[in-house]
Amino acid sequence: MKNLLKVLISILFLLCLIQKSRAYSSGLIITEVLPNPSGRDSEGEFLEVYNNSDEDIDILEFQIDGKQIKPYQGETTQTIKPDSFIIIHDDSFDIKERFPGNYNRAVVTSTSLANGGDTVILSDHKQKVYDQFIYSNSQENITIVRPEIKCSTTADSFDGGGSFLELEDPENYNSSIFKFQHCAIIQIFKDNKWDNLLETENASSIKIRLDYPDNIFSINQFQWIIDAQEHFYSNPIDFTSIPNSTHNLDLYLIYNENQIYSQEQIKVRNLDTITLEPTIRINEIFPNPSTSGEWLELYNFGDQKVDISGWKIEDSSSASPKPLPATEIDPDDYYVLEGTELKVSLNNSGDEITILNPNDEIVDNYSYNKTNKDISLSYWNTKFFESTTATKATANIITEPSSDNEDNEEEEKENNKSDTILGDIKNIKSEPVNTYVETTGIITVDPNILGSKTFYIQDQSGGIKIKAHEEVINSDIKEGTEVKLRGILKKSVEEFYIDVESLGDLSILQNSQDYYIKNLEENFVFEENEGQLVRLQGVLDSSSGDSFKIILGDGREMKVSILSNVDIDLPEKEKGDLIRITGILSQYKTSATVGEGHRLLPRKNEDIEIIKSEQNMKNLKEEVEMDSHKETVQNSNALGTCSSHSVPNYGDQADYKIARRYYELMPKIETQTEDNSKEESTDNSDILKYSGMLMLSFVGFLKTPGSKDLAVGFATYLKKFFQKST
């Protein structure tokens, strides 16, 4: 009877539990803009900003599109109180002549709100973005409003006079303009507050919630699945954890009566220690001054003092990194390298600057093309802009160069492009850096997977990294597409790449093309295969987080790294497993002693295949022990494994010989794996069948005839299946 009662309670929770959360998150939010006033735009444009936090906020610490907010002439702007507004307008007019009243206002030099659509960015002087307001068009004297300030969406426009300094009521708008995925966010509770970064430290339990505006969406059913085992039907949820673990969460819910939403493979990390990344960046570069000397500015955007003693700097022509001054940079402070402290030359024709820590790990780097006189390269909102205003040791100000400079620059680019070198990928890699090159290849990895605005192409001669400017990346640029592209040949961390600057420099030849994966044989040369999609196999030696090392058949080690944007769920693995990896061969800055500077970058789940065979491992170890007194390292060399002078770097010889024997047993292991997969196919198909039927029942609110019996049967089957697997 008690068990039956538990089942009934669970069903009631599943069918009836409705959870709600607060409607808004904290911070400054742009709630209304007027891009197209009657008359001159510069004498009527304005933005309405709302303080949605519980604290007073000083608006003078913020910027609009990189332009500092300042008081209107003769006024002292007060702080914005919680649940209050401020109007930001162009400093060339007095908005209170149009909208009289006693309210806060501030100004910027030129609001420049484009009538045809724009993205307005509100940030602080550290370039931390607080809000982005995106609109696609505008009508004369009609404001654009955000009726639900949590959702990243724009709404219908209407006359601004009626909504000035007021929050809009979402009930006045068609709810179809709000998409659930734009309005909801998963958060973790830590340090007595909810946080969007799903990481915590040394936690014995983790609290998670879905935050959403409950005045727009009504959620009828929640289902959380933790690590494919624990099920929760509420919001928020608490589950147990241990430090140094990563949890995978799946969320399924039904909202607004019959709308289904799901989000799978949500990663939540519980760290045993948090390694603080250096909070130093290259903030401004002034490479081509008409007077005085060139300089480079570092900025500490963190809240802790950073000691840069032992750090180094290098450019693309440096024979070796040069030391930086032994000094400390305070939080929110700048350090300018100039004169004798600037150990590199900032080349006017283009350069790449890299800052390294004492372990020769890259802290920051930036590459630029040819620069004009007195143009500053200034960091703002995750990227660099050209600016005519140099701001040495102060917050950056972005003022775009005149059209004359842009015309000269474009003319120079066109002259350089006329000398473009054509060739296959292997041949263009032999050209000097900063040469315009043109080649054809098939894309082997989607953009932004292995780096921001980065993808890879290859042909029969080799592969190469492509770094494309934002306008080049679109939905047609994807894996399997054959493209012809032109750009500047560059080099970073000793690896070549092509910098593609504009949309006209890339053309699509064919879609959905097959490409080959190069199987690397023993003793392959790293440099000859950089940038190429390759496949190799070896024995797992060690792992750390999302990276691990394998021993190759020739005894060398290979690092395998799962980058942060790669959606791969690593299967269970242990030392001694044979692993077959497909990925891009790339270089990175490291102090590794074997295979220095090279790593393999998988792209997706199917790029990693782990073949477990405890019996084979046992047999291999026995073979190694029996042969150890008969077989010397030199005999192994006679079989073509590796050169004797490099053997001492390979570590344990037993592991090395096991790797060799694994290569020989590979066909047998593959056959055994195929047989095992056949035995499991029936189980897998049954699971798929039950899952599909159960989902249909779930969507129908468990009203399908026999659905309760189906649910109980499926649960029983899963129990037997997992017992069998164990």
The first and second tokens of residue 68, run together, are: 């500092």
The first and second tokens of residue 578, run together, are: 């044979």
Q: What does the pLDDT average to over 72-95?
A: 85
Res. 633: pLDDT tops 50: no
Res. 319: pLDDT tops 60: yes
Q: Which residues contact 161 (CB under 8 A, 6 or more apart)?
A: none
Q: Which pTM was predicted?
A: 0.39
pLDDT of residue 444: 95
Residue closest to 30 by CA, chosen among 121, 109, 100:
121
Residue closest to 87 by CA, chosen among 170, 26, 143:
143
pLDDT of residue 671: 47
pLDDT in tens, 439-495: 999 999 999 888 878 999 999 999 999 998 877 888 889 999 999 999 999 887 778
pLDDT of residue 476: 85
Query: Which long-range contacts (C-beta less than 8 Å, at least 24 apart) are formed by 407-412?
Result: 408/372, 409/370, 409/372, 412/370
Tell me which of 672 and 537 has the higher pLDDT: 537
pLDDT range class, residue 341, cuts 50, 70, 90: very high
Q: What is the mean pLDDT of the chain?
A: 76
Res. 425: pLDDT tops 90: yes
| Cis amide linkage into residue 236, ω under 30° from 0 | yes
Res. 402: pLDDT tops 80: no
Most confident of 77-91, 272-286, 705-719: 77-91
pLDDT of residue 571: 78
Tell me which of 333 and 649 has the higher pLDDT: 333
The position carrying tokens 């980058």 is 563
Residue closest to 631 by CA, chosen among 656, 648, 650:
656
Q: Residue 43 carries which side chain, given as an amino acid letter?
A: E
Which range among 210-224, 291-305, 601-615 shows the weakest confidence by mean pLDDT?
601-615
pLDDT in tens, 674-694: 444 444 444 554 555 445 444
How many of the other CB atoms lie within 10 Å of CB of 81?
13
The position carrying tokens 């510069």 is 42
pLDDT of residue 412: 53
Angle value at C-alpha 136, between 402 and 51, nearest 5 degrees: 90
Give the neighbor-by-neighbor strand order of the sheet with 193-195: 193-195, 185-190, 205-211, 237-240
Q: Give the whole-number percent of the chain exceeding pLDDT 90.
A: 23
pLDDT range class, residue 673, cuts 50, 70, 90: very low
